[in-house]
Amino acid sequence: MSNDAAWAESVQQFQQMLSQSWGNMLQAMQPGELNKAMAMPPSTPVNFAGDKLLELQQQYLQDMRALWGQGMLPQMPKTGDRRFAGENWAQNPLSVYSVTAYQMQARALMGMVDAVEADEKTRARIRFGVEQWLAAMSPSNFLAFNADAQKKAIETHGESIAKGVANLLHDMRQGHISMTDESRFEVGRNVATTEGAVVFENELFQLLEYKPLTAKVYERPFLMVPPCINKYYILDLQPENSVIRYAVSQGHRTFVISWRNPDESLGHKTWDDYIEQAVLTAIAKTQEISGVEKINALGFCVGGTMLTNALAVLAARGQDVVASATFLTTLINFADTGILDVFIDENFVRMREMQMGQGGLMKGQDLASTFSFLRPNELVWNYVVGNYLKGETPPPFDLLYWNSDSTNLPGPYYAWYLRNFYLENKLIEPGALTVCGEQLDLRQVKLPVYIYGSREDHIVPADAAYASTQVLPGKKRFVMGASGHIAGVINPPAKNKRSHWVREDGKLPATLQGWLAGADELPGSWWDDWSEWLKGHAGKQIAAPKDYGRAPEFKAIEPAPGRYVKQKA
């Protein structure tokens, strides 16, 4: 059979498949099938605005006829979608057909989502489910349609397919998709390398102190509280992008909490345990080691929420021991939780309480998968195509290595966090929460704060980060950076990347948009702005300590990064 005849037969077979697919699609647009199409329970009414469904059907049929009329010479649609951008796609009729049909169906399905008459949360859930399905069903995910993967298989005489199978087996053994070449990294060797020592530990955390890089340090030490849903070394990836090393280089005597990766023996630990035995203990130990009355503190993401709880407990106890606080991409007001809101309702939270509210673990891999599927094309299917269809090894990238180094959470901690913050948003209600035996009232947390939000953050939306300015009563400075939840934070000045927004008149209107109306965009990182602010709360400079800890009680237990951070989930 000639090549032209083979292509003709392939296209004819694919057209038959399209006919069946189109028929199924049109059937799904019938009222009796709408619940199935939207993946909604049969009892859930799905109604559409006006004649929108009829318009979608007519447009779909029109697009179908246009594609059918192109015969064996279809034109690749120009959409800017990187999944289909290679020239191999445009040169392969079968791939062009698959992409065109896929995009037709994607438009129809998303049009149905937009036309659903429902409350905002229901529509968001439907949209999320349809987007997940569309991401999974992309022609680029299948060797039969992926023209780039097919060409590579031919050029390598099948070696890329063999390597892809080997990659798949490797990832099945390790329990997650490889986003980077993990063999190129080791905690303590080329990530988490800032010199320091463990000066205190208990069953929940190790307290790391870092070696000064300056002859003098500020008298008030600086304590960082990272999120316990990840490992602390996101703040200490490599010397050139380490927040920790930067703080040390600015003259701050720096301490960091390194969380233990919980196993079953810690499955009973609660939110109160983590506040009292970890955050409050770390604050007290930092005070004792440095011999001062007040320290400065920073909380990142969930670490910021935990720090806020600790500060409110201290305020209730009449203890004024933290001079200033920095909150990086932190939720305090949980009214806007971004895309994560699609998961949270009474039934979901009750299910988690039944599963693990009295004990057990929220597995780190489950958490990691959830966050990855918030951006499925970039963090899931991109690697399926590269690793398995093309047999590629992803390049080394420190941030993605950290992202794959997951951590568990104690079930009672996790369930309590979901109900009281994500579901019921009680932290901003005076007296609504009791933590460590104290009623929390953020009106009493009057210390100065620096609040940072990332413009493209999909986990803590910039509006949600800004909302903290409206519930904390002390003197505040808000800064917004470009990029997302992690890349916006890990943006060292030396690289001169991205930009940030500041407002020098000190006004903090009710909304982020109101704040932006008077803000200025500046090139580069926000770190230097933060450093200048922190120095204003750090006190005078004194001679840098020559040893870690404070003899005789606090001595170096082991070198940083310590053993807790090396524990695997």
Strands 476-481, 449-454: pairing is parallel
Instruction: State the DSSP code for 187.
Output: B
Angle at 280 between CA 276 and CA 283, to 5 degrees: 160
**Do 530 and 479 form a contact (C-beta atoms < 8 A)?**
yes
118 alpha carbon, distance to own chain's centre: 28
Instruction: State the DSSP code for 254.
Output: E
Crossing angle of helices 52-69 and 93-115, in 10° steps, is 170
**Do 47 and 117 form a contact (C-beta atoms < 8 A)?**
yes
Euclidean distance between CA atoms 547 and 201, whole angstroms: 18
Bridge partners, 200 (sequence order): 207
Bridge partners, 280 (sequence order): none
- At 217, the amino acid letter reads V
Euclidean distance between CA atoms 86 and 340, whole angstroms: 33
Question: In terms of Cα–Cα distance, which of 434, 237, 207, 427 is closest to 337?
Answer: 427
Length of the chain: 569
**Do 201 and 277 form a contact (C-beta atoms < 8 A)?**
no
Task: Look at residue 349 and give its three-state secondary structure.
Answer: helix
Torsions phi, psi for 442 (to 5 deg): -65, -15
Structure tokens at 274: 């983590």
Task: Look at residue 366 and give its three-state secondary structure.
Answer: helix
Q: Is 301 a catalytic residue?
A: yes
Bridge partners, 477 (sequence order): 450
Question: In terms of Cα–Cα distance, which of 55, 65, 72 is closest to 10?
Answer: 72
Helices (H), 471-548: 512-516, 527-535
Task: Look at residue 353 and give its three-state secondary structure.
Answer: helix
Segment holding 239, helix H or strand E:
none
Euclidean distance between CA atoms 398 and 486, whole angstroms: 12
Question: In terms of Cα–Cα distance, which of 195, 196, 199, 197 is closest to 555?
Answer: 199
Q: What is the dihedral of CA 563, 564, 566, 569, to 10 degrees?
A: 150
Catalytic residue of the set 199, 301, 361, 447: 301
What string of H, E and C letters represents the secondary structure of 14-56?
Answer: HHHHHHHHHHHHHHHCCHHHHHHHCCCCCCCCCEECCCHHHHH
Euclidean distance between CA atoms 433 and 455, whole angstroms: 30
Task: Look at residue 554 and give its three-state secondary structure.
Answer: strand
Strands 295-300, 322-328: pairing is parallel
**What are the catalytic residues?**
301
